[in-house]
Amino acid sequence: MFFTYLRRELRRRRKAALVVASGLALGIALVIVVNSVSAGMNRAQGRVLESLYGLGTDMTVTKAAAPPEEGATVKRPRFRFDAKGGDDDARQSQDIVMVQGFETLAASTVARVAGQDGVADAVGGLNVRVMKVDGQFKPGEFKQEPGEVKRGGPAAGEVRGGGADFDVDSYSVYGTDVAHQGLGPLTSSKITSGRTFAAGETSAAVAVVDSAYAKEKKLKVGGTLTVSGSKLTIVGIATADSGDAAADVYLPLARAQTLADAKGKITTVYVKATDSQRIAGVKDTIQKNISGTTVTTSADLAQTVSGSLSTASDLAAGVGKWLSIVVLVAAFLVAGLLTSSAVSRRVREFGTLKALGWKSRRVTGQVAGEALVNGLIGGALGIGIGLAGAWAITAFSPTLTAQLGAGGGGGAGAGGGGRMLVGGPGGPGGPMSDGASRALDIALTAPVSLTTIGLAVALAVAGGLIAGGFGGWRASRLRPADALRRVE
């Protein structure tokens, strides 16, 4: 009887049911789109951070910057060239290999970090900047002016031509622990030609070169790259998964330490936590037990991301969520008011049913059942519209720009697996310490999770129950006499 009556009433009041369901569908669809876009923003930020530190990195710990001493001079690279007598056209070349930020941690920090509670693995790395100056001096020619020259006096004339012509090249180098290549910036790139490092090449004269840098300098697998007089064999070409590579050249850690005159030193320790839920606790533990370091999580670095990605993320997290809440509340109120209004128009019907023996509880249940079905229909429509909207965003893939400022603190990629980074980018010694910002283009996606679908179903049921509550309260107050008074 309940379902027969329910089906008949919904068919008879199709327009009213459609209005209630449409309002709920709009609110639910908006919630799905906003949640999926927010998830896409988080994924995009994760890709940005992974491009710096590799897959799964979540945290950095750098050497704490010491306050500047009064009268202290700023460290700057200095080039010195010797005069080469008798060889006016001799080319001069010099490389300066320096640790980025001029700040390092002892290599023993890796073992100390690995021993902290909640740390599953720890790997050290060294970020280096190479500046190469290559060119030649050309002496000028003295041109004597015509005319009388006084005996014993200087010749009249001037020096013309000559000068110096030097080319300056600067590129980044990352020293990686070849025995533990599962963490670190190299994991954000794929070997597209040649091979990666072998576990035994701890200090070998080999290099893996980023594909963009290799194309610019016309480098190939099997060729050589000279750094500060050391010839390195190129064994592989790596292509970054997204955005720019973390470094132009990758070397075995010991080789990079030798070139940078930083033996036994590192700038970065990449750490994998035993559980992603423990990252905050591990951060506190490292800060407490390892003095002189600064710990930064991926969330801290994400705050340094600007550009359209940051703007869109803020809109999705702020305006989008508040808008979806307002629309949902409005949809629930409209559904409740429309259901209550429909009950007031069915006074004769419910009064007659009560006169025939229907209990108030049965009348209330009938109204609530109709409202719940309207809510479920609205939920189905909302899920369909929301999925279509999320699909459209993913299909057209609007491109957002992430600007990574050099002033950002250390951080890490927001990958899964509960990983963090010790000794990082924006702080001393990190890959962004050279003062240059990086702009990355990221295609936005809008993934819809089962949690989002479950939330939509819960909202549909809640909307139906709220509307049913309004209508049921009105129906429970009706008396059989009301029906008799309306009989003509």
Write phi, then psi, for 123 (nearest 5 degrees): -135, 135
CA distance 277 to 162: 66
pLDDT at residue 2, rounded to an integer = 64
pLDDT at residue 250, rounded to an integer = 95
Question: Residue 389, SS3?
Answer: helix
pLDDT at residue 164, rounded to an integer = 65
pLDDT at residue 453, rounded to an integer = 86
Place of tokens 């290599």: 107
170 touches 131 (CB < 8 A): yes
Element (H, E) at 79: none
- Within 10 A of 434 (CB to CB), how many other CB atoms are there? 14
pLDDT at residue 214, rounded to an integer = 93
**The model's pTM:** 0.61
pLDDT at residue 411, rounded to an integer = 35
pLDDT at residue 454, rounded to an integer = 85
Residue 325 token pair: 């809440």
pLDDT at residue 400, rounded to an integer = 65
Average pLDDT by stretches of 10, the chain with 488 residues? 67 76 82 81 68 67 67 57 57 76 84 89 88 72 59 58 69 91 85 92 93 92 90 93 79 92 88 82 89 75 58 60 74 73 69 74 77 83 89 79 50 37 42 47 77 83 77 67 54
Q: Which amino acid is at 134?
A: D
DSSP per residue over 342-353, as a string?
HHHTTHHHHHHH
pLDDT at residue 414, rounded to an integer = 33
* Per-residue pLDDT reduced to its tens digit, 298-337: 666 666 655 555 565 665 566 566 767 777 777 777 777 7
Cβ contacts of residue 115 below 8 Å, gap of 6+? Answer: none
- Within 10 A of 325 (CB to CB), how many other CB atoms are there? 14
